[in-house]
Amino acid sequence: MSDRTRELRTYAIGYGLSLVLTVAAFAMVRWPSFGARAIFGIVLALGLIQMAVQFRCFLHISFKRSSRHDLQLILFSALIIALMVSGTLVILFNLRGRMMG
């Protein structure tokens, strides 16, 4: 199989998987079948999977073949993002609970 065929297939797989994950997430909300918290959890999980699919298929980041530090940079950014976002949410929800509660 030529490089071109393989690359076309990678984009097609990425597009197909993203479509399925998008439709699944919207369908979960349009026709709810669980509690609100469970649905939100599933939507977030589907979103994270779709991000991973697009990083893999559209941005060509993978665990084994990247010789440069693209993946390390993503993981470092993800760590910073997780710390700052979760820290902000914890502190401000806690503050709201104490002020308004």
CA distance 94 to 29: 28
How far does CA 10 lie from the centroid of its chain?
Answer: 18
CA angle 18, 21, 24 (to 5 degrees): 145
Distances in Å between the Cα of 43 and the Cα atoms of 16, 49, 52, 60, 69 are: 18, 10, 14, 24, 30
Note whether 79 binds other proteins by CB under 8 A: no
CB of 101 to other proteins, least distance (A): 13
Q: Between 67 and 98, name the residue whose CB sits nearer to other proteins.
A: 67
Binding interface with other proteins (CB under 8 A): 1, 3-4, 6-8, 11-12, 14-15, 18-19, 22, 25-26, 28-30, 32, 36, 39-40, 43-44, 46-47, 50-51, 54-55, 58-62, 65-70, 73-74, 76-77, 80-81, 84-85, 88-89, 92-93, 96
